[in-house]
Chains A and B, each alone.
Chain A
Amino acid sequence: MTAMENFDAIVVGAGATGAVYAHELTRAGLNVLCIEKGRFFQNHRTDFVENELETFRLVWDYSDYEITGNAFDGGPNLGANVGGGTLAWTATALRMFEHDFRFRSTFGAVQGANLADWPISKKMLQPYYTLAEQQMGVSGSATWWDELATPLPPNPPIPLYPASRAIQRGFDQLGLRSSPGRLATNSQTYQGRSACLNCGYCRSGCRVDAKYQADEVLIKPALATGRLELATRSVVTRIDTDRSGTEARSVSYTNLDTGRESSARARFIILCNNPFEIPRLLLASTSRRHPNGIGNHYDQIGRNFYSHATCLGMGISNDDHRTYVGHNMCNVMSLDTCVNRERDDYVGGFSMLSLNGAGAGSLAAFPLHKLHGIDLQQRMTQYNNSMVLITFIDGMPVYDNRVGINRKKTDALGMPVPTIHYNWHENDRRAFAHAREKIAQVFEAAGAYESFTSDIFESHPMGTMRMGNNPKTSATDRFCRVHGVHNLFVAGGCLYPTGSSVNPTLTMHALALRSARKIIKQCRNPLLSSLAEVE
């Protein structure tokens, strides 16, 4: 163990949100230690390979997790290196709807689900959405679903690909409005980064940084300030608080390559290490003041886990769509189905987003899951005659769906192994059934003679560190701080009380910007004793 170093802030995880904090805080003059389990790919052109399998090199490994329930299958959603999920993401960058922040008020209670309104409104987040879009270089045009006065993203839309035009015809036939998607992928050179070259391999890491990747856009500039210390291949194993338990003081971490154990102290500690590892770390950090884990006085840490129930569909036509071309998701979209107006058996809704590019293995694995042998190969030879759609469904947070730890079993670093318990809610299944039917209808209207859909699967894990005003029913406050520990912040989709039917990353980025700027204001004006005073 070496002497304890002091920083203004410690950021745990250098992913989609950790990079935002590191960038904001160092630019404001704070000295920051960022601790990241994975590697730092410093040359994307040579580090990344255009191959569908490469995604799996960039995503989180659940092999040590204990998993129960029927819903969690370890989908490749979370990142595992500097830049986190933004290395493997599809760069879909949509603002959530106003009703998403008031889901409980809008749709009422749902039996078996633990719905809640967010403790903040969309209006409070709008300026941070705009800033996030500028940082990311979002491309897109005005859409049918924008609220009045929503500014346009900084880049024009990416042209529609042949398969997307076919899907758009299907939307039109069904009376569903559509528009080019909002993408954190450059349609033109932006801030020195290339325009998209349509290669089709977004999920393998973008070799030309046309796609927003947080390590390139935020971590490298943060390092250039000289105020960021980046500890890679290192895992935080414990957080300690002061005697009162109300202030996080330090973290202990271990380098995976050398085994060296270190500790560091900071005024602010910010946990950005995904919806599973954040509760794991808090639950493992027990003390006299926090016998059940930090912030867990009311047994809220890790609860209300959910995801986007997802359906992936493939429609085959006789037309040459050159499906291999293009960025991977949301070249064209319809969000008309994000509020269910057709059925009375579920609440919420689902987005409908096109998929393009190199996804042969995914199509064979999921929409074509019932086929094998010659039947499978015959469909796969029609890859370029295919249209592909994905739907993300409002997942229901359920109190007993949760992330926990097994205190009787530890990993090589001595940390209790994480547990995930996740069952689908009936609302998830009913919405999925509708989404599956709607996909088939769009394909048929677009000229497909045959269509296939996946079974239900999970995307975008959320919940586990719910934001709220009441510590008895939530884990974090409206500034994303762990209840009762004034300088311990949390970031990511784990904060969301409910999850919308659009992709979560832009909102994660916006929330992180908001909290980072509050921290900076507090640092600059020490007389402000609480963040509430600077809202």
Chain B
Amino acid sequence: MSFTEQQYLVIKTLADGVCPGLGSIPPSSTLPVADMFVGIAETWAPAVLQATANALDIINSIALSIFGQPIQNLDQSGIATVTEIVASNTDLKPFWEPFRILIALNYYALPPVYSAIGLPGPTIDAGGLTAEGYPV
């Protein structure tokens, strides 16, 4: 199975709930983070994938019930509210914990993100770094 278009939009928007833009740090939704998540999730066992899809539908239904709109139409405040509900919902824990880990690992490995928080990225081809952290 693969995710529906709406489920994909929930992934993309909820990823913004985990990693929104801040200052020079780009929001998750402007980067291929959701696609990276989908690429990994589609290798999971069918039962796990189905459970993930179900959780995405439930999350969108939470947005609909509170705001009357699908999650992708919410502003940052609305996304933050839904994210908070998902993060604190015990029933959604089996979805939330791996989702959050995968989003975080993929997001902070992208050059626009790690550069914005001060990591230099690859340095070997330029000779590496001194032990004090400066270019050689």
B22-A374 in contact (CB<8A) = yes
Please tell me if B128 contacts chain A, counting CB pairs below 8 Å. Answer: yes
Q: How far is the CA of A326 from the CA of B100 in the complex (A)?
A: 27
Given known contacts A361-B107, A383-B118, A378 and B22 CB-to-CB distance under 8 angstroms? yes
B105-A52 in contact (CB<8A) = yes
How far does the Cβ of A60 sit from chain B's closest Cβ, in whole Å?
A: 14
Interface CB pairs A-B, < 8 A, 6 = A199-B124, A360-B109, A372-B19, A373-B20, A376-B19, A380-B108
Given known contacts A361-B104, A361-B108, A197 and B22 CB-to-CB distance under 8 angstroms? no
How far does the Cβ of B97 sit from chain A's closest Cβ, in whole Å?
A: 8
Within 8 A of A (CB), among B103-136: 104-109, 113-114, 116-124, 127-133, 136
Residues from chain A with Cβ under 8 Å of B44 in the complex: 63
Q: How far is the CA of A372 from the CA of B117 in the complex (A)?
A: 16
Q: How far is the CA of A365 from the CA of B106 in the complex (A)?
A: 10
A372-B128 in contact (CB<8A) = no
B117-A383 in contact (CB<8A) = yes
Q: How far is the CA of A360 from the CA of B80 in the complex (A)?
A: 22
Please tell me if B89 contacts chain A, counting CB pairs below 8 Å. Answer: no
How far does the Cβ of B116 sit from chain A's closest Cβ, in whole Å?
A: 8
A361-B109 in contact (CB<8A) = yes
Please tell me if A247 contacts chain B, counting CB pairs below 8 Å. Answer: no
Given contacts A325-B132, A372-B87, A374-B20, 20 further A-B contacts (CB under 8 A): A50-B121, A63-B44, A159-B131, A161-B131, A196-B128, A197-B124, A199-B123, A208-B124, A325-B130, A360-B114, A365-B100, A369-B100, A369-B101, A373-B83, A374-B80, A377-B20, A380-B108, A381-B22, A383-B117, A383-B119
Residues from chain A with Cβ under 8 Å of B80 in the complex: 373-374
A377-B107 in contact (CB<8A) = no
Please tell me if A162 contacts chain B, counting CB pairs below 8 Å. Answer: yes
Please tell me if A158 contacts chain B, counting CB pairs below 8 Å. Answer: yes
Given known contacts A198-B130, A199-B122, A358-B114, A377 and B109 CB-to-CB distance under 8 angstroms? no
Given known contacts A50-B124, A52-B105, A198 and B83 CB-to-CB distance under 8 angstroms? no
B117-A198 in contact (CB<8A) = no
Please tell me if A53 contacts chain B, counting CB pairs below 8 Å. Answer: yes
Residues from chain B with Cβ under 8 Å of A160 in the complex: 131
Please tell me if B1 contacts chain A, counting CB pairs below 8 Å. Answer: no
Q: How far is the CA of A201 from the CA of B25 in the complex (A)?
A: 22
B119-A365 in contact (CB<8A) = no
Given known contacts A324-B118, A378-B22, A197 and B129 CB-to-CB distance under 8 angstroms? yes
B133-A162 in contact (CB<8A) = yes
How many residues in A have their beta carbons less than 8 Å from beta carbons of B? 40
B19-A377 in contact (CB<8A) = yes
Q: How far is the CA of A159 from the CA of B131 in the complex (A)?
A: 7
Residues from chain A with Cβ under 8 Å of B65 in the complex: none
Q: How far is the CA of A381 from the CA of B44 in the complex (A)?
A: 32
Q: How far is the CA of A125 from the CA of B114 in the complex (A)?
A: 43
Nearest opposing residue in chain A for B116, CB measure = A381
How many residues in B have their beta carbons less than 8 Å from beta carbons of A? 42
Please tell me if B53 contacts chain A, counting CB pairs below 8 Å. Answer: no
Residues from chain A with Cβ under 8 Å of B116 in the complex: 381
Residues from chain B with Cβ under 8 Å of A159 in the complex: 131
Q: How far is the CA of A161 from the CA of B131 in the complex (A)?
A: 6
- Measured CB to CB, the residues of A under 8 A from B are 49-53, 63, 158-162, 196-201, 207-208, 322, 324-326, 358, 360-362, 364-365, 369, 372-374, 376-378, 380-381, 383-384
Nearest opposing residue in chain B for A368, CB measure = B104
Q: Which 7 A-B pairs have the closest CB atoms?
A: A197-B128, A322-B133, A325-B133, A50-B122, A360-B108, A364-B104, A361-B105
Please tell me if B71 contacts chain A, counting CB pairs below 8 Å. Answer: no
How far does the Cβ of A319 sit from chain B's closest Cβ, in whole Å?
A: 13
A381-B25 in contact (CB<8A) = yes
Nearest opposing residue in chain B for A63, CB measure = B43
How far does the Cβ of B12 sit from chain A's closest Cβ, in whole Å?
A: 15
B118-A53 in contact (CB<8A) = no
Nearest opposing residue in chain B for A51, CB measure = B109
A372-B108 in contact (CB<8A) = no
B129-A199 in contact (CB<8A) = yes
How far does the Cβ of A183 sit from chain B's closest Cβ, in whole Å?
A: 13
How far does the Cβ of B28 sit from chain A's closest Cβ, in whole Å?
A: 10
Residues from chain B with Cβ under 8 Å of A324 in the complex: 118-120, 133
Which residue from A326, A360, A378, A384 sits with its C-beta under 8 Å from B131? A326
A198-B109 in contact (CB<8A) = no
Map CB proximity to A onto B34-46 as digits: 1 under 8 Å, 0 otherwise.
0000000001110
Q: How far is the CA of A258 from the CA of B136 in the complex (A)?
A: 46
Residues from chain B with Cβ under 8 Å of A52 in the complex: 105, 108-109, 114
A358-B130 in contact (CB<8A) = no
Residues from chain B with Cβ under 8 Å of A51 in the complex: 109, 122
How far does the Cβ of B1 sit from chain A's closest Cβ, in whole Å?
A: 16
Q: How far is the CA of A398 from the CA of B107 in the complex (A)?
A: 38
Residues from chain A with Cβ under 8 Å of B84 in the complex: 372-373
